[in-house]
């Protein structure tokens, strides 16, 4: 996976011209799906993620219900046309792992006790992929959960830090991810700087890792502001002063 080959840093800049700590452009739309209880379309560079939340709803099969809380299910899926080389439809091992860690990224903030015996189903579709898809998915899912009216303590934001061409950077695109030395996807509650997802792949030093955490924290704060703004935006027309019931 970590290949040698192309020069990722040239004259102190990344191949797409970004600074080391610069995120790709982000676009967020809330409530884009009619049938889902909550939804969010999230673009991060060339990543296009669509999150749909259904629930709380009756949980089937019954024997998997939890008598005291809702069960949160997260399914990450990449569309076959989302990548350069067509991906066979259906869950592969990578999607299974990503679904697991993504669910764990959101679990800590959801007030599951409010809806015993139900299921809260989160479906994340990657319509186009350019590295960092799991982080785009979590960002989208967090907004979609709010849109669905699921009570949560906080929003969760996510980004990948990494090492490419000897430099620690944020938000790698596909070539950077493929040819870089290491990548670490992180999810965080921006308000409390609590980390709810953390993985690392590749090879770097403990100091690189610490630096990665610091960079990720900064990026998650930025992303949080955008998530929040998108949610507020949905109701901003004509929400104004002076009024009665």
Closest by Cα among 152, 140, 157 to 221: 157
In the bound state with another protein, the residue whose beta carbon lies nearer, of 6 and 96, is 96
Contact of 38 with 53, CB cutoff 8 Å: yes
Distance CA 76, CA 61 (A): 21
Cβ-based nearer residue to another protein, 24 or 144: 144
Cis peptide before 56 (omega within 30 of 0): yes
Taking alpha carbons only, the member of 81, 53, 56 closest to residue 70 is 56
Residue 222 phi, psi (nearest 5): -65, -45
Phi, psi angles (nearest 5°) of residue 214: -65, -45
CA distance 218 to 212: 10
Q: Report in angstroms how near the CB of residue 5 gets to another protein at its nearest.
A: 11
Three-state DSSP class for residue 64: helix
Give the nearest distance from C-beta 126 to another protein in angstroms. 18
Nearest distance from C-beta of residue 13 to another protein, angstroms = 26
Cβ closest to another protein, residue 127 vs residue 152:
152
Query: Closer CB to another protein, residue 8 or residue 145?
Result: 145
Q: How far is the CB of 11 from another protein (least distance, A)?
A: 28
Query: d(Cα 80, Cα 219) in Å, to the nearest integer?
Result: 29
What minimum distance in Å lies between the beta carbon of 134 and another protein? 13
């Amino acid at each position: 996976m970590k290949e040698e080959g192309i020069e990722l840093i040239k004259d102190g800049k990344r191949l797409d011209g970004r600074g080391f700590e610069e995120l790709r452009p982000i676009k967020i739309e809330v409530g884009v799906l009619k049938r889902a209880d909550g939804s969010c379309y999230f673009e991060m560079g060339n990543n296009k993620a669509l999150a749909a939340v259904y629930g709380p709803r009756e949980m089937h099969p019954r024997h998997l219900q939890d008598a005291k809380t809702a069960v949160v299910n997260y399914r990450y899926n990449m569309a076959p046309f989302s990548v350069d080389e067509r991906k066979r439809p259906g869950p592969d091992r990578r999607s299974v792992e990503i679904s697991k860690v993504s669910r764990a990224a959101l679990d800590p903030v959801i007030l599951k006790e409010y809806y015993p015996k139900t299921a809260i189903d989160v479906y994340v579709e990657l319509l186009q992929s350019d590295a960092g898809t799991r982080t785009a998915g979590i960002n989208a899912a967090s907004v979609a959960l709010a849109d669905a009216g699921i009570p949560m303590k906080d929003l969760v934001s996510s980004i990948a830090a990494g090492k490419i061409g000897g430099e620690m950077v944020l938000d790698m695109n596909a070539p950077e991810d493929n040819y870089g030395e290491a990548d670490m996807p992180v999810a965080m509650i921006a308000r409390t700087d609590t980390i709810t997802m953390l993985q690392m792949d590749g090879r770097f030093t403990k100091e690189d890792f610490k630096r990665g955490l610091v960079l990720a924290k900064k990026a998650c704060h930025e992303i949080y502001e955008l998530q929040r703004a998108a949610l507020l935006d949905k109701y901003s027309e004509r929400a104004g002063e002076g009024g009665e019931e």
